[in-house]
């Protein structure tokens, strides 16, 4: 394990204005990563940038808003990242939408939106930025999955489908790129104390996982740089 391995690395993170993404951005910047923050909420991104810069770590911080359900926004933000940072060493696909609808109530529009944000956008970013990592013979791809990648729950049919896809995609990318010393992780937490987590009315919110702990775990996990790797991790609640 090398606690200094992330210093001066360039990190692109989606969903940075959300609960988990925000905490991961804060933690990785503490470890010395330059950050490009992507999200939908401009004011939250600005505040996060200021908070990171207040650490005094002298890391570079950029941001831009994007709706990852739209191809034009994805293309544009890749261009901005290339202009501001050049290459990416660490990719964190954290953006996601959570739909609570039964099979009968869900429609094709719901399906397309969830697939586009939860699966299609991560695929495009993995394809684009892994090129940098392969050239450098070093890289980290972190895909935030869910306990729904391993289970099927009623009223979340589309969401479960997307998270199963993220897990399968992560497994395949890891096996394809590991010979280039690029590590791909699928981190699958249970219910988390975020705005999205509050949509689960049938569960006790107080038992949910703290997003800060997930960020700490991600930082810890991607700092290993020898022969050991935990490419597939499930983070469960102690009490359910």
* pLDDT, tens digit (0-9, with 9 covering 90-100), for 191-240: 888 777 677 767 777 878 999 999 999 999 999 999 999 999 999 988 76
Q: What is the mean pLDDT of the chain?
A: 94
pLDDT at 90 over 90: yes
pLDDT at 79 over 70: yes
CA separation for the pair 13, 22 (Å, rounded)? 9
Contact 141, 161 (CB under 8 A): no
pLDDT at 84 over 90: yes
pTM assigned to the model: 0.94
pLDDT at 8 over 90: yes
Q: How many Cα atoms within 13 Å fall on the side-chain side of residue 106?
A: 20
Q: How many CB atoms lie within 10 A of CB 65?
A: 16
Q: Write the burial class of residue 104 (CB in 10 Å: 0-12 exposed, 13-18 middle, 19+ buried).
A: exposed
């Amino acid at each position: 394990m090398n606690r200094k391995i992330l210093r001066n690395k360039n990190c692109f993170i989606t969903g940075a204005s959300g609960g988990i993404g925000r905490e991961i951005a804060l933690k990785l910047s503490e470890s010395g990563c330059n950050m490009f923050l992507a999200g939908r909420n401009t004011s939250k991104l600005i505040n996060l940038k200021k908070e990171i810069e207040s650490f005094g770590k002298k890391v570079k911080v950029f941001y831009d808003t994007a709706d990852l359900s739209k191809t034009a926004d994805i293309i544009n933000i890749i261009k901005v990242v290339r202009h501001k940072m050049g290459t990416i060493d660490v990719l964190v696909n954290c953006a996601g939408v959570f739909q609570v609808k039964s099979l009968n109530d869900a429609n094709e529009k719901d399906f397309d939106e969830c697939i586009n944000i939860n699966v299609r956008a991560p695929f495009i970013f993995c394809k684009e930025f892994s090129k940098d990592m392969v050239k450098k013979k070093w890289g980290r791809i972190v895909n935030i999955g869910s306990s729904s990648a391993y289970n099927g729950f009623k009223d979340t049919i589309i969401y479960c489908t997307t998270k199963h896809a993220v897990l399968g995609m992560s497994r395949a990318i890891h096996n394809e790129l590991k010979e280039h010393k690029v590590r791909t992780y699928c981190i699958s937490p249970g219910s988390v104390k975020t705005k999205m987590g509050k949509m689960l009315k049938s569960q006790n919110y107080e038992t949910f996982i703290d997003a800060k702990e997930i960020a700490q775990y991600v930082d810890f996990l991607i700092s290993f740089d020898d022969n050991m790797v935990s490419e597939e991790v499930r983070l469960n609640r102690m009490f359910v």
